Structure 1
Amino acid sequence: MAAGLVISAPASGVGKTTLTLALARAWRNRGLRVQCFKSGPDYIDPAFHAAATGRASVNVDSWAMDRATIAHLVSRGADADIVLAEGSMGLFDGVAARGVCGTGATADIAEMLGWPVLLVIDPSGQAQTAAAIAAGLRDYRAGVRLAGVVLNRIASPRHEDLVRRALIDAGIAVFGALPRHAEISLPKRHLGLVQAEEQAEIGSLIDEAARFVSAHVDLDAVLRSAATWSPQPAANGLNVTPPGQRIALARDAAFSFVYPHMLEAWRAAGAEISSFSPLADEAPDTSANVCWLPGGYPELHAGKIAANTHFRSGLRAFAETRPVHGECGGYMALGTALTDADGIRHEMTGLLGLETSFAKRRMHLGYRLAELAAPMPGHQVGARLRGHEFHYSTILAQPDMTLAVVHDATGAVIAETGSRRGQATGTFFHLIAEDR
């Protein structure tokens, strides 16, 4: 049987991902089989998990997924020795209105699975107050159990002693304390970490993090704190319909934001996926019956996309007879033009009239529930789709027909409705699951 543990924190930016990767690699180096998951709608961290463990990681999300789906996804850890679920934001941070089986908070997953929480605490600028924060998190929700704490970015031995004593007095186990160590910081950009596949040195970074954490954290004590766990048999609860039988999938540094469970669900349903790279000026496979452009960073590569005439003409030819769908960055690439952060306007594929700009950035962030007003690949009119939107683009024009009525997590209607024109459709949200 596996042991399960949730890694969380009071807030974002405290060091959850680095600790997760370090623990995973350190235990893997000891010969243990390690499985990771990501709680919440993050399409970057699972690739880091896979780099650390050698096993594919997927997202679990209590707002968008039902319990059967979560159970099915988590069951892949049945043959592991230790299963780590990395949280998002702070432990109890979610949306105000409950979704399918929760608010999207990491605490939902911890309670649902019965796994204790390992807290990462950064006590920079404080000392004993860190214990009050940890105690508050421990006592906030009865169904969530705290395993203990790892301290991060400790300033000095005296600082560590003050914080450690306060935590022990509060009855909270301290598994270790990490001094500041800039060498294991992971590069970031405006949507989060720089993607794992873009970092040639990612393996050495994770190895260094594992060495560092092994020297300062009691790995055996952390392992003992995990809950013994045997997954219950779960039917295939993946609420995902593939967009077609043969899918041409854009896949490169500009188009890579696709949830791993989506691709797995497509393949499990019998779909075939052929990848192509717009940045390498490749066109979609002409034998495919649908083309899908995921999100990513088209704003960082807009000039190259605009210059790649084979990709643009090939995609336009494909769309004359078969459906093409874009999510977020892929949606922007289907539009008329994209203005980058320097104010330079780049012509896109022109399949839709959408025009976006990063010259004046505006954050769009949150869960989305869409009811389709028109069909899109894999889904008919009236289908209810759950997803998540996160981008910094400003919409300059969105002239095409509306694809969906889209609500945020509170039920409020939002302006980003998606678009449709001919065979082309696009949305700003990334699809997570169908609402059945």
Structure 2
Amino acid sequence: MTRGLMIAAPRSGSGKTTVTLGLLSALRRRGVAVRAAKSGPDYIDPAFHAAATGQPGLNLDSWAMSPDLLGAIVADAAAGGEMLVVEGAMGLFDGVPGTPGRSGAGADVSARLGLPVLLVLDVSGQSQTAAAVARGFMVHDPAVRIGGLVLNRLGSTRHERLIREAMAPLGLPVVGAIPRTEALVLPERHLGLVQADEHGDLSARLSALADMAERHLDLDAIIALAAPMETPQADAPHLPPPGRRIALAKDDAFSFVYGHLLAAWRRQGAEIIPFSPLADNGPDESCDACWLPGGYPELHAGRLSSAGHFKAAMTRFAQTRPVHGECGGYMALGTALVDASGTAHPMLGLLDLETSFAKRKMTLGYREAHLLAPCPLGPARARVRGHEFHYATVTARGTDAPLAELSDAQGVALGTEGSRRAHVTGSFFHAIAPA
């Protein structure tokens, strides 16, 4: 049976990703068949997980995914694996108010799957107080078991000794102690870390993280903390594939697509045919649907604007077959994209939409979409759960009909969103699962 654990923390910025990547890389170096997942809606961390494990990264989201779907994804991941490591998001108990167990917090996933938590504490600026923090986590939710601690950003051996002495009465094992000097920082940009594929030295970085883990984590103790996972088999609906042969834009501009969606589409008989707009390629003519994922088109707007073959091929494809764009893909379907410097770049012009990064505005949150017409996300009136996360603003929205009515995680109506024209649809909404 596959064993699992969750790596979590009291807050963002505590070092979860560093510890997770170090542990994954060290376990793989040992020959452990390890898989990894990210709790919550995140595209970038799973790509790093995939690089560290050699296996596709996954997402587990207790708000967007039904409990049965969570179990089905984990059961698929566990097949043939020895260990699953789930990286939490934000703080362990951070989620949205609502149905118990469906808050989106990492704690929901831990409780649902019976995963003990390896708690990463950033102890810079404190000593014995760290024990009070750990004690609070131990008793906050009886359904969540804190299995062990990693002390991160220690200032000295004396600092470590003081904290270990304060922790001793709790009976909670300290299975890692990482000095502040061991901080290995991965570059970031506005949606999170710089993407894994953009690091030419990623293999060397992961090797250095594995070295760090071997020096400062008790790998045997961490493996022993992992518990057999509760993965009940159940029928769980996935989003239907948008076609039988799906042309998928895939390069540095378009990379944000959830692994569980692609896996589900393939299990339902679909074939995924990738192509690169940045290489001036268009969708394969044998395909019957085209999907433009999110990503960073604003960083490559000039190249996309001048990709004549890509633009002509997309226009031709859209005359007879469905094309859907999510977030960055939605912006590329519009008439123009204004980059951060204020330069306007003509885009595909398949939707009457202009977007801009000249004045950034963050939009972030869970969303439930009520589809107003049939589209690659599903039939009219279907409800789909997902999220928005972007900094673009819409500077002009023409006469295209909206794609969906949106509500937030608590059911508050947010109005209409997205665009549809003939066979072309798009939205800032990232789809995760049927509601």
The secondary structure found in structure 1 opposite 2:269 is coil
Partner of residue 106, structure 2: 106
Question: Which residue in the other structure is 1:171 paired with?
Answer: 171
Shift of 1:182: 5.9
1:332 corresponds to: 331
Output the amino acid matched with 1:91.
L
Letter in 2 for 1:328: C
Specify whether residues 78 and 246 from structure 1 end up closer, same or farther in structure 2 by C-alpha distance, changes over 3 A only. closer
Distance in 1 (CA, whole Å) between partners of 2:99 and 2:48 is 29
Q: Which residue of 2 aligns with 1:161?
A: 161
Letter in 1 for 2:360: R
Question: Given the alignment of the two structures, is residue 371 of structure 1 paired with residue 370 of structure 2, yes or no?
Answer: yes
Counterpart code for 2:154? I
Structure 1, unaligned runs of 5 or more = none
CA distance, structure 1, for counterparts of residue 2 and residue 317 of structure 2: 47
Provide the C-alpha distance between the structure 1 equivalents of 2:266 and 2:14, rounded to a whole number of angstroms. Answer: 36
Kindly report which structure 2 residues correspond to 1:48-59, keeping only aligned pairs within 5 A, or say none: 48-59=48-59
Is it true that 1:95 corresponds to 2:120 in the alignment? no
Deviations 1:2-40 (A, max 9, x none): 221111001112111121111112122112111111111
Q: Distance in 2 between matches of 1:324 and 1:31?
A: 42
CA distance in structure 1 between the partners assigned to 2:262 and 2:79 by the alignment: 21
Tell me the distance in 2 between the aligned counterparts of 1:329 and 1:415.
21
**What corresponds to 2:382 in structure 1?**
383
* CA distance in 1 between partners of 2:234 and 2:284 (Å): 33
Q: CA deviation at 1:109?
A: 0.5
Offset at residue 236 of structure 1 (A): 4.8
Superposition deviation, residue 238 in structure 1: 4.3
1:358 aligned residue = 357
Q: Deviations over 1:156-199 (max 9, x none)?
A: 22222222222223333211210124662212111011111111
Instruction: Give the 5 Å matches for 1:5-404.
Output: 5-75=5-75, 76-98=77-99, 101-181=101-181, 184-229=184-229, 231-232=231-232, 234-399=233-398, 400-404=400-404
Tell me the equivalent position of 1:409.
409
Q: Which runs of 5+ in 2 are unaligned?
A: none
> Counterpart of 2:325 in 1: which secondary structure?
strand
Local SS of the residue matching 2:246:
strand
* Whole-angstrom CA distance in 1 between matches of 2:395 and 2:274: 30
> One-letter code of the match for 1:231?
T
Q: Quote the offset at 1:207 in angstroms.
A: 1.1
How far is 1:352 from its partner? 0.9
Q: TM-score, normalised by structure 2?
A: 0.96
CA distance in 1, matches of 2:335, 2:348: 6
SS of structure 2 residue aligned to 1:350: coil
Counterpart contact for 1:121–1:152, Cα < 8 Å: yes
> Contact 1:78–1:231 at 8 Å: present in 2 too?
no
Change (3 A) 1:281 1:416: farther
Measured against aligned partners, the alpha-carbon deviations of 1:383-434 in whole angstroms (never above 9, x if no partner) come to: 1011111111111122221111111112122256111112111011111001
Q: Which amino acid aligns with 1:421?
A: R
Q: Is this contact kept in 1: 2:377–2:431, CA < 8 A? A: no
Quote the Cα distance in structure 2 between the aligned partners of 1:172 and 1:182.
24
Q: How far apart in 1 are the matches of 2:170 and 2:337?
A: 54
Partner of 2:420: 420
Q: Secondary structure at the match of 1:371?
A: strand
Identity %: 55
Q: Is the 8 A contact 1:155 1:180 kept in 2?
A: yes
How far does residue 42 in structure 1 lie from its aligned partner after superposition? Answer: 0.8
- Whether contact under 8 Å (2:113, 2:230) holds in the other structure is no
Output the amino acid matched with 2:309. H
**CA contact 1:32–1:81 (8 Å) conserved in 2:** yes
Contact in 2 for aligned 1:72/1:238 (Cα 8 Å): no
How far residue 146 of structure 1 moved from its aligned partner, in angstroms, is 0.3
SS of equivalent to 2:255:
coil
Displacement of 1:266 after TM fit?
0.8
Instruction: Tell me the distance in 2 between the aligned counterparts of 1:93 and 1:70.
Output: 18
> Which residue identity lines up with residue 24 of structure 1 in the other structure?
L
Say which is worse superposed, 305-314 or 257-266, in terms of deviation.
305-314
Deviation at 1:235, TM superposition (A): 4.0
Structure 1 position 148, deviation (Å): 1.2
How far did residue 305 of structure 1 move? 0.7
Tell me the CA shift for residue 230 of structure 1: 6.0
For 2:392 and 2:366, how far apart are their aligned partners in 1?
17
Q: Is the 8 A contact 1:135 1:172 kept in 2?
A: no
The residue identity in structure 2 corresponding to 1:191 is L
CA distance in 1, matches of 2:406, 2:206: 39
Q: How far did residue 210 of structure 1 move?
A: 1.0
1:110 deviates by 0.4
SS in structure 2 opposite 1:79? coil
For residue 324 of structure 2, give the secondary structure of its aligned residue in structure 1.
Answer: strand
Distance 2:182 2:354 in 1: 39
Q: Distance in 1 between matches of 2:139 and 2:328?
A: 41
CA contact (8 A) 2:246 2:287 kept: yes
Cross-structure match for 2:4: 4
Matched residues, number: 433
In 1, distance between residues paired with 2:162 and 2:361? 41
Taking the aligned partners of 1:338 and 1:126, their CA distance within structure 2 comes to 47
Q: 1:203 Cα deviation (Å)?
A: 1.4
